Amino acid sequence: MPLAEIQPSQLYISLEKLAQVQAWWQPPRLETLTPVPIKQLNGRIIYTDGHTRAFAAYWQGLAEIPVFWDTDELDWEAYQICVEWCLEAQIHTVMDLEGRLLSPSAYERLWRDRCRAMQTTLTQ
């Protein structure tokens, strides 16, 4: 599926995780990339996981990635909030995450802590 047609559901990419993907994705070709899970939400195709793999593919100059329809039951309310955060930040494709590569500590603080706070609010 074209990278330009999939809506991210996270605001940042961890540089540490990106380095790990780049280390195991050898050779970095479309046919060697593990497929990324997607679902439809409010008329958009979204990533449910695999943002880092998709970003690594973009960095390798690929315009599309292998995907599969995620059949897991997900917390749709949480995904909706995450997608709304992305849209508010003008993140419409994985390419928009290029200026949002973070160190592990910044990723933990800016993304994971934000998600934990949102999850806490949803369970109250």
What sign results for the dihedral spanned by CA atoms 5, 8, 13, 19? Answer: negative
Q: Mean of the pLDDT values across residues 30-51?
A: 96
What pLDDT score does 111 carry?
97
- Summarised one tens digit per residue, pLDDT across range 48-84 is 999 999 999 999 999 999 999 999 988 899 999 999 9
What pLDDT score does 74 carry?
85
pTM across the whole model: 0.94
Q: Classify strands 101-102 and 13-14 as parallel, antiparallel or unpaired.
A: parallel
pLDDT of 124 > 90? The answer is: no
Task: Residue 108: name the closest of 4, 19, 15, 5 by CA.
Answer: 15
Question: What single-letter DSSP state applies at residue 45?
Answer: E
What pLDDT score does 17 carry?
97
Which residue is it, tokens 């993304």? 111
Which residue is it, tokens 């599309």? 64
